[in-house]
Amino acid sequence: MEYSGTIEFLLFLAWLLGSLLLAWFVRRIFYVYFGSVALSAPMIGYSMVGYGSLPMGGIFHGFCTGLFALPFYILFQHLRKRKKAGGS
């Protein structure tokens, strides 16, 4: 794997972990979604330059990446409510 593939992979991992952390720590779904969109911008931008695997990426791709964090946000909110209720 050459260096451009490695950089793209690291950007992807940063977006993935950042989105999961947003879903865990942020309390409002609006901020989770747009935070995940903002975190994906470097990955999409680097890939669009021609070094990565995305031949063309635009605003649609960014907004689609924001959807990744939403199921985890819902799961984490559910787990918090269960923990507060004291049930198992």
Among candidate residues 18, 4, 15, 10, the one with its CA nearest the CA of residue 53: 4
pLDDT tens readout for residues 45-70 = 888 776 666 666 678 888 888 899 99
Amino acid at 87: G
Among candidate residues 16, 8, 14, the one with its CA nearest the CA of residue 51: 8
Number of domains in the chain: 1
Looking at the predicted structure, is the pLDDT value of residue 17 above 90?
Answer: yes
Q: What is the pLDDT of residue 28?
A: 94
Amino acid at 42: P
User: For residues 81 and 51, which has the higher predicted lDDT (pLDDT)?
Assistant: 81
Segments forming the whole domain that contains residue 31: 3-85
pTM: 0.83
